[in-house]
Structure 1
Amino acid sequence: MRITGYRTLTTVQQWGRPVGDANGVLPHGTTTVSIVIVETDEGISGVGLGPHVEIESIFEAIDGEDPRAVTTLYDRMLRQTFKAGHAGLAFGTIGALDTALWDIKAQAAGEPLWRLLGGRDRHVPAYASGLDIALSDDELVAEYETYAGYGLRAAKLKGGLDVERDRQRLALVRDVLTEAGHGRRPGLMLDVNEAWSRKQAVRHVCELERTLDLAWIEEPVRRWDAEGLAAVGRGVRAAVATGENLTGLEQYRPLISAGAVDIVQMAAVWGVTHFLRVAALAHAHDLPVSPIGNIPVGLLHAATSVPNHLVSELQDLRPPIGLRVDLHIEDGAFVLGDTPGLGVRVDEAAIVAAGHRPGSPSADSPNVRPERAGLRLLAEADHTMPELRVESLLTNSVAVRQDAASVRP
């Protein structure tokens, strides 16, 4: 079997509501999903979900190769980007191609990827994550009642702009999940998408912890700030979760060495081989791992085969336009199917008919870091829908109004 080519597509996830976090909000509730399809001379095609930046150059490393040599080809792709570097979107392209190769390998073996990788149990524990900072109280309760109906008993909320607002929203979701769990205490997490300084993080979380039990605080400071993440971890009771934006073992190593991370996260967009390698590194330090992503299907399959998987993120309950995925949600877990490979099928006609054309992120997008992020002493949010505005009291006591933003959905 030989790799003969690739195709790229872009579809959309339609959330049906505003989505966002402390960095920005998308009031239209539509996010893009990039797709890479790798083709072979035996008619088997593999699907990878992720960007296709610099794909022509990166694909040269695997063109004409046997796709079943996945991990070797992964390293060839890393070497292909040696001079310019493999971080950022280029790493996402490598991840998309890598996931597609794993899909091909499992299809060729006639097995679902979770079984090919050595998994025994197709059930992958999940937590609810609604990208929900722009929702009103009633909308928030309704959203998490839906998640609770699928048996989810843990939830991660977006926040970090207003401590009292965060307390109120976390308490609302706590009550929803407690009632659904017949009094059982739920897991609560808060994700602030690198919006804080070190001291602000400790102050904010400690205030919340006076009345709430947080399982983890996610990305409280910048992703690479090993010293700062460690300082936050020492100052709060909650675990520190981070890693979704780190690309390669070399970026995890200083955080783990500094004791800066308690929950090691990996984004689905970076690929299966990356997840497996980081999971092994984390396991060597007795740390649990948790996949992140809208449809982290590749990492869900891989999670069944590692000993330190904790829980995986469940965002939207519906797949993007034109994608069918052989899994379902039951009793608070992803349940993977028996379709050979990833179990992802692409309806290209449906994607073309949707007519989406990707554009550049706007200044109030969750993907654009706000100018004053990490520089607020206090923040009070005006929760008028559909636009979320933030009024920040800065160090010079001048109030500045700016669009609040949410992290990358």
Structure 2
Amino acid sequence: MKITGYRTLNTFHDWRRPIGDVNGCIASGITDVPLVVLETDEGIEGVGMGSHADLERLFPALEGKDPRAVASLYDSMISRVFKSSHAGATFGGIGAFDTALWDLKAKIAGEPLWRLLGAGDRFVHGYASALDAALSDEQLVGVYRSFAERGFTSAKLKGGRVLENDVRRFGLVADLLSGSGVTPALMLDSNESWNLKQAVRYISALEEKFDLTWVEEPLRRWDSIGLARLSASIRSAVATGENLTGLEQYRPLLDAGAADIVQAGACWGITHFLRVAVVAHSRDLPVSPVGLTANHAVTAAAAAVPNHLTAEVQDFGSPFGLTLDQEFADGGIVLGDRPGVGIEIDEAAIDGARMSGDWQEPAGPHVRSSRAGLRMVDRGVLEE
């Protein structure tokens, strides 16, 4: 079997609510979902979610090759762009192709990916994470009630701007998730919005009210010294890594003891997650994938690694035109038996769709505030 070509599709995810973090929000709740379909000479196709970045430059590393050689092809893609670097947006294109390769490999084997990767259980522990910074208290309660109804007992809130707001919102969510008689696990994601001493003061004050499980991306992703100092100054764990585009970027963080929980962005693909999990496991650290809405397939990889802690579940819906072979129950994700990564595409529906959205819109969470880490007094969650 040989890879002969690829095609791209663009669909969208309708979150049915505003989504965002301390940097900004997308009021429409409509975001883009790029898809890649790898074609073979035997008619079997592999589907990848992720990015369309640099696919044309990357594809010669795959063309004419047997798609089952996933690890070798992953390294070939990285080698193909080594002069200009595989990091940044290019890494998203590698992730999309990589996911499509794993889909092909599992389909050829006639097995769901979680079983092919060696998982013994189709259930993946998860936590609720609604990208909730722009929600009113009423909306917040409605969203997290739906998580509680499906057995979720852990939640990560966006915050880090106004302490009183975060205390109130954590209280609301804690009440919802404690209905089963357990003390919920609570996490805060500040999306790189603090400097070191801001983080120490803010987290310490919040810890007087709540026993935080972790604080996520409190400082810039590369600040290994600052993150290590912060971890030593607070009770909660420091979680980071979702925006690191390459295994080598983890080395200074892990050497400095800067990450208590090692995260990997699901949009960067399956092989990246598997390798990050191994490196974390070698340090006796847990691993947690972030953003499964952007790459559902990484859930199967999470089921197969020994140090998986919990996976970010952002929404129960599926991107338009996609059917995902999974369910949400008992506080996690239950994977199905469809061969491959479990994505079925209705290309005719996607081609006829008129709705679109963009993660990169200027008011959205992917555009960092110019005053992040520089505020003396904060006036609101999404205000400058």
2:353 counterpart residue number: 354
Deviations 1:375-405 (A, max 9, x none): 1123131xxxxxx642xxxxxxxxxxx3xxx
Q: CA deviation at 1:142?
A: 1.0
Q: What SS is found at the alignment partner of 1:92? A: helix
1:320 aligns with 2:319: yes
Q: CA deviation at 1:21?
A: 0.2
1:289 counterpart residue number: 287
Q: CA deviation at 1:297?
A: 2.2
2:266 counterpart residue number: 268
8 Å contact 1:200–1:377 — kept in the other structure? Answer: no
Q: CA deviation at 1:354?
A: 1.6
Q: How many angstroms apart in 1 are the aligned matches of 2:277 and 2:222?
A: 18
RMSD over equivalenced CA pairs, Å: 1.2
1:345 counterpart residue number: 344
1:242 aligns with 2:226: no
Q: What SS is found at the alignment partner of 2:174? A: helix
Equivalent residue runs for 1:174-323 within 5 Å: 174-179=174-179, 181=180, 183-295=181-293, 296-323=295-322
1:140 counterpart residue number: 140
Identity of aligned residues (%): 55
Q: How many angstroms apart in 1 are the aligned matches of 2:251 and 2:359?
A: 33
Q: 1:389 to 1:99 in 2, by over 3 A?
A: closer
State the TM-score, normalizing by the size of structure 1: 0.92
Equivalent residue runs for 1:70-85 within 5 Å: 70-85=70-85
8 Å contact 2:292–2:299 — kept in the other structure? Answer: no
Q: 1:359 to 1:380 in 2, by over 3 A?
A: closer
Q: 1:389 to 1:124 in 2, by over 3 A?
A: closer
Q: How many angstroms apart in 1 are the aligned matches of 2:362 and 2:324?
A: 33
8 Å contact 1:5–1:39 — kept in the other structure? Answer: yes
State the TM-score, normalizing by the size of structure 2: 0.98
2:68 counterpart residue number: 68
Q: CA deviation at 1:352?
A: 1.7
8 Å contact 1:10–1:356 — kept in the other structure? Answer: no
8 Å contact 2:126–2:331 — kept in the other structure? Answer: yes
8 Å contact 2:50–2:95 — kept in the other structure? Answer: yes
Q: CA deviation at 1:89?
A: 1.1
8 Å contact 2:262–2:286 — kept in the other structure? Answer: yes
Aligned residues: 383
Q: How many angstroms apart in 2 are the aligned matches of 1:357 and 1:151?
A: 32
Q: What SS is found at the alignment partner of 2:378? A: strand
Q: How many angstroms apart in 2 are the aligned matches of 1:362 and 1:328?
A: 31
Query: Which AA in structure 1 matches 2:101?
Result: L
8 Å contact 2:30–2:357 — kept in the other structure? Answer: no
Q: How many angstroms apart in 2 are the aligned matches of 1:127 and 1:363?
A: 28
1:93 counterpart residue number: 93
Q: What SS is found at the alignment partner of 1:102? A: helix
Q: CA deviation at 1:139?
A: 1.0
Query: Which AA in structure 2 matches 1:308?
Result: N
Q: CA deviation at 1:112?
A: 0.4
Q: 1:24 to 1:90 in 2, by over 3 A?
A: same
Q: How many angstroms apart in 2 are the aligned matches of 1:15 and 1:357?
A: 12
Query: Which AA in structure 2 matches 1:116?
Result: L
Q: CA deviation at 1:359?
A: 5.5
1:126 aligns with 2:126: yes
Q: How many angstroms apart in 2 are the aligned matches of 1:199 and 1:275?
A: 31
Q: 1:116 to 1:365 in 2, by over 3 A?
A: same
1:372 aligns with 2:371: yes
8 Å contact 2:12–2:357 — kept in the other structure? Answer: no
Q: How many angstroms apart in 2 are the aligned matches of 1:236 and 1:333?
A: 28
Deviations 1:217-275 (A, max 9, x none): 00000001101111111111000001000011110011001000011111111111111
Q: How many angstroms apart in 2 are the aligned matches of 1:240 and 1:177?
A: 22
1:41 counterpart residue number: 41
Q: 1:309 to 1:389 in 2, by over 3 A?
A: closer
Deviations 1:287-333 (A, max 9, x none): 00001114242211111211100000101100010110100011111
Q: CA deviation at 1:122?
A: 0.3
Q: 1:359 to 1:138 in 2, by over 3 A?
A: closer
Q: How many angstroms apart in 1 are the aligned matches of 2:305 and 2:236?
A: 24
